[in-house]
Structure 1
Amino acid sequence: MDEFLMRFLDIGAFSLNSDDTKLEKLRAAVKDLAGALQKNPAKTASFTMVAADPSVPSSDPVLDEAMAVVRKHWETVSNAFTGRPVAVLRAVLLDAIVQAARRDDAIAVAFVNAARNALAHTETADEAPLWRDAVSEIETKVDARAEAEWATPEMISVEPLQYTPPAPREIEFEPPVVDRSALLGSIHSAAGPWGPNNPNQFQPSQGSHWSQQFADKMSSAIAETLDAMAQELAPAPVDLSAPLASLAKAVTAHVEAALASFSSATTGLQRRTYLLWWKEAMFSPSAHTSYLEMPAFQASALMALDLHEQVPTFSPASVSAFLKEAIRSLPVEPDGEGEGQRDVASLVREARSAEFMQPFRALAAQYVLAPIGRGPLLALIGHGQDAATTEATKLRDLVGVDASSTMTASEWGTFLFRELQAARATSANNGKRARKR
């Protein structure tokens, strides 16, 4: 993996006079800053914006923090350079950010989005290759996770039904035995007046009288014997409620698991399908009106907000490109606004005061703190009490963008979307962040 501290040295951004001990001290400072960033990921955007800008004010609080960490390991650092060593501190910051981003996916998201925005408004010609490599490495990492979460597998596998039937119950059974002596006595009694059990009063020589009595008594004797055996053979009642309840529970769990697998497997497809529907409909779910009925720059800001709320933190880089193309499909208005350009100062003032930006301001205030030194544009939008922050010099110091810089509607919307994604990834109000284990 690249060590970006060395990359700054290689391009001559600063010199350590071939002193390896000083290099080791800077490496120790990088390690400490990376650890501090992992403990407070909300600083990722500010760290990135300062590291990306060679013209950042030397008094910026992020540089103060970095200088304090470097001084812990290199007490005489101030004497080694004329003035504050901004180039050294920027190199230390970038290396620390990349190291933290390699271990923490949320920091990676914030770094990529913040860097994409910042580098478009800074002069880093000599540093362009190393910044390109840093952003490419971390963006590839973010995209790999995002693509896995957005992918739709060719097949959905479901585990077999987990059910164990109850063990067969052993039933003790003794076959009934006919009481032969009792049956013999009954038959003997049916045959004539000599039997012991209610004997037949007629003798066989008496013809029909005897035979009628014999049939009655003989059939009773046989029926009573068979009835007694049938009662002994009657099965004991079996309670199936417990095994049936267990089977029903297993089937329910199996179906729920199958539905969950299907839902998880088709999440990416559902997202992509919804985004295509959203782009074709050009309808704002937050404003409940068509983007086509709004001024282009108003529509672009709302499209950034709506898309941010539709996609998860870990989204492919192509989502930003998707938004840019969606905004470009807005019609060009008669006054030329459409894909015309507006200066950043007027866009920021509108974002801080326009009624349609109220939901955006509320979310920005939730994501980031009030501006102190270099930080995201969201800080100015969400905490707009200080009107002076939109003055040209102040604006440049706080967000790294010249007040006179111009943006198209698609650039403005994409810029805001990236800031929202970066802020959500590392916001302290975003609940437990997802880390790469």
Structure 2
Amino acid sequence: MEEEFLLKFLEIGAIDLKGDDTKLEKLRSTAKDLSATLRKAPSRTACFTMVAADPNVAATDPTVEEAMASLRKQWETVANAFAGRPVGILRAILLDAIVQAARSDDAIAVAFVNTARNALAHTETSDEADIWREAVSEIETKVDARAEAEWATPDMITVDPLQYTPPTPVSTDYEAPTVNQSELKAKIHSAAGPWGPNNPNPHQPNANSQQWAQDFANRMSIAIAEELDGMAEKLAPAPVDLSGPLSTLAQAVTAHVDKALASFSGATAGLQRRTNLLWWKEALYSPSAHASYLDLPPFEASALMALDLHEQVPTYSPASVSAFLREAIRCLPVEKGDQGNDRRDVANLLNDARTTAFMQPFRALAAQYAPEPVGRGPLLSLIGHPRDSGAIEATTLRTLGGLDASTKMTPSEWGTYLFRELQTARATSDSPTKRAKK
């Protein structure tokens, strides 16, 4: 039986309904409604998750307002039941709704896992840590199962047998030709001497043997040849049109070869992808910047590595891909810890992402993926839609991005954070063209 995360919040005392099962049913109905809303608009997954993961989220956040409106439909007197807006209850409802939706929609599952991994690293959810760990683990296992199937290389490639049905044989009435013995006998008789009924040989064998023999041979050869020619004409086969059956066979063979090649390509795609990633990691060369990551400042390089890896892997990728990126970024010199500047404030990193020239490809993709920021949402919204060239205020960053301006990150943390947001955005993008790489 699937876990109900609302009950887990009840168990730890985060929700107190005074033992009233009627109120619990109202919360369950609200979670069900919000889950249906999320399945209709998967792009809301990041906002739902970021609000659910932050105990300090503002009560006026648009997602909190939406959850409250949904709860009010089920519980008209909810405002009188609590002194203020029950943000804790609404967060629990949101998490339950997200998990319900993620269980049935793989795209939402990808977005939830990536967003939760980012958000939980920078929020204070110690009392709820076990609940979130269990929720993320369940959905991440689901995502990994699909991803591993797409990335795996089977031990053996099997191809279905050739599908071809030969045409039905055409039955024809056939009568074996026979020799008309009476006619042949009359011709032989006529060739033998002047006694035959049909133009007989005028010579008799004893009177003029040489002339008789010549005339006999001529007449007999004509008689036999005419008979054989008649039989051969009757034995001549009727013309058969093989263009149709051969065309059908050619199409069946072509389809069979195409399926075999597709099976081979699909079976080796995971191996080819892993090989390409290893080459990329060892080369440390950016295809988007056409430059070595080693020649770029470390934080610029980490952001570009997040973008380049996102372009190389599909949406449904195992969790180990984020770890792979982290280790690849750690190959940069700054991660060796000998320069003393391997951590920077998020506010400064975000400002660079919004203004510097090297981040233009990243900004362009972020603008396609994420709408303008309205309430709590991903950093992609702030990066892709810079309202001005000035630095973002600390309160604005906290309200819209869920991060304190003073939060420090290493290049590997920054790159991994951006990569997860890119994967989340592509998974739940409303545009089919943006979701084409799934």
Q: Same fold (TM over 0.5)?
A: yes
Q: How many angstroms does 1:366 deviate by?
A: 0.9
Map 1:326-341; keep pairs closer than 5 Å.
Answer: 326-332=328-334, 340-341=342-343
In 2, distance between residues paired with 1:198 and 1:238?
A: 42
* 2:139 is the alignment partner of 1:138: yes
Change (3 A) 1:300 1:403: same
1:119-172 alpha-carbon deviations (Å, 9 max, x no partner): 111111111111111111111111111112211222222111122222222232
Change (3 A) 1:333 1:51: closer
Q: Which residue of the partner structure matches residue 164 of structure 2?
A: 163
CA contact (8 A) 2:426 2:435 kept: no
1:264-288 alpha-carbon deviations (Å, 9 max, x no partner): 2222222212211211122222222
Q: How many angstroms does 1:8 deviate by?
A: 2.0
In 2, distance between residues paired with 1:387 and 1:77?
A: 43
> Which moved further from structure 2: 189-198 or 240-249?
189-198
Letter in 2 for 1:232: K
Letter in 1 for 2:215: Q
> Which moved further from structure 2: 309-318 or 70-79?
70-79
* 2:210 is the alignment partner of 1:195: no
Q: Which residue of the partner structure matches residue 45 of structure 2?
A: 44
CA contact (8 A) 1:190 1:214 kept: yes
Change (3 A) 1:339 1:138: farther
Letter in 1 for 2:172: I
CA contact (8 A) 2:355 2:389 kept: no
Q: How many angstroms does 1:211 deviate by?
A: 2.0
Q: Which residue of the partner structure matches residue 384 of structure 1?
A: 386
Q: Which residue of the partner structure matches residue 81 of structure 2?
A: 80
In 2, distance between residues paired with 1:349 and 1:218?
A: 113
Letter in 2 for 1:235: P
Change (3 A) 1:5 1:194: closer
* 2:354 is the alignment partner of 1:352: yes
Change (3 A) 1:336 1:396: farther
In 2, distance between residues paired with 1:224 and 1:30?
A: 98
Letter in 2 for 1:360: F
RMSD, aligned CA? 2.2
CA contact (8 A) 1:300 1:410 kept: yes
> Which moved further from structure 2: 52-61 or 321-330?
52-61
In 2, distance between residues paired with 1:49 and 1:124?
A: 12
In 2, distance between residues paired with 1:224 and 1:420?
A: 89
Change (3 A) 1:408 1:5: same
CA contact (8 A) 1:106 1:433 kept: no
In 2, distance between residues paired with 1:255 and 1:343?
A: 56
Q: Which residue of the partner structure matches residue 183 of structure 2?
A: 182
Q: Which residue of the partner structure matches residue 301 of structure 1?
A: 303
1:328-358 alpha-carbon deviations (Å, 9 max, x no partner): 1112399966970111111111111111211
Q: Which residue of the partner structure matches residue 422 of structure 2?
A: 420
Change (3 A) 1:337 1:343: farther
Change (3 A) 1:162 1:366: same
Q: How many angstroms does 1:433 deviate by?
A: 7.4
CA contact (8 A) 1:327 1:410 kept: yes
Letter in 1 for 2:112: F
Map 1:67-146; keep pairs closer than 5 Å.
Answer: 67-146=68-147
Q: Which residue of the partner structure matches residue 230 of structure 2?
A: 228
In 2, distance between residues paired with 1:322 and 1:232?
A: 80
Instruction: Tell me which of 251, 263, 266 is aligned to 1:264.
Output: 266
CA contact (8 A) 1:366 1:429 kept: no
In 2, distance between residues paired with 1:387 and 1:50?
A: 27
Q: How many angstroms does 1:195 deviate by?
A: 3.4
Q: Which residue of the partner structure matches residue 317 of structure 1?
A: 319
Change (3 A) 1:23 1:218: closer
1:25-47 alpha-carbon deviations (Å, 9 max, x no partner): 22221111111111111111111
Q: Which residue of the partner structure matches residue 374 of structure 1?
A: 376
> Which moved further from structure 2: 46-55 or 195-204?
195-204
Letter in 1 for 2:267: A
In 2, distance between residues paired with 1:250 and 1:162?
A: 6
Q: Which residue of the partner structure matches residue 243 of structure 2?
A: 241
The secondary structure found in structure 2 opposite 1:126 is helix
Q: How many angstroms does 1:182 deviate by?
A: 3.0
Q: Which runs of 5+ in 2 are unaligned?
A: none
> Which moved further from structure 2: 212-221 or 395-404?
212-221
In 1, distance between residues paired with 2:401 and 2:319?
A: 22
In 1, distance between residues paired with 2:267 and 2:110?
A: 23
> Which moved further from structure 2: 414-423 or 40-49?
40-49
For normalisation by structure 1, the TM-score amounts to 0.94
Aligned-residue sequence identity (percent) comes to: 70
Q: How many angstroms does 1:118 deviate by?
A: 0.6
Q: How many angstroms does 1:254 deviate by?
A: 1.4
Q: How many angstroms does 1:109 deviate by?
A: 0.8
CA contact (8 A) 1:348 1:381 kept: yes
Change (3 A) 1:339 1:206: farther
Letter in 2 for 1:393: T
The secondary structure found in structure 2 opposite 1:393 is helix
In 1, distance between residues paired with 2:175 and 2:34?
A: 84
Q: Which residue of the partner structure matches residue 365 of structure 1?
A: 367
In 1, distance between residues paired with 2:280 and 2:174?
A: 72
CA contact (8 A) 1:339 1:410 kept: no
In 2, distance between residues paired with 1:342 and 1:16?
A: 44
In 2, distance between residues paired with 1:64 and 1:271?
A: 43
The secondary structure found in structure 2 opposite 1:127 is helix
CA contact (8 A) 1:145 1:314 kept: yes
CA contact (8 A) 2:354 2:389 kept: no
1:361-407 alpha-carbon deviations (Å, 9 max, x no partner): 11111111100111000000000024567111111111111111111
Q: How many residues align?
A: 434
Q: Which runs of 5+ in 1 are unaligned?
A: none
Letter in 2 for 1:145: R
CA contact (8 A) 1:47 1:93 kept: yes
Change (3 A) 1:20 1:433: farther
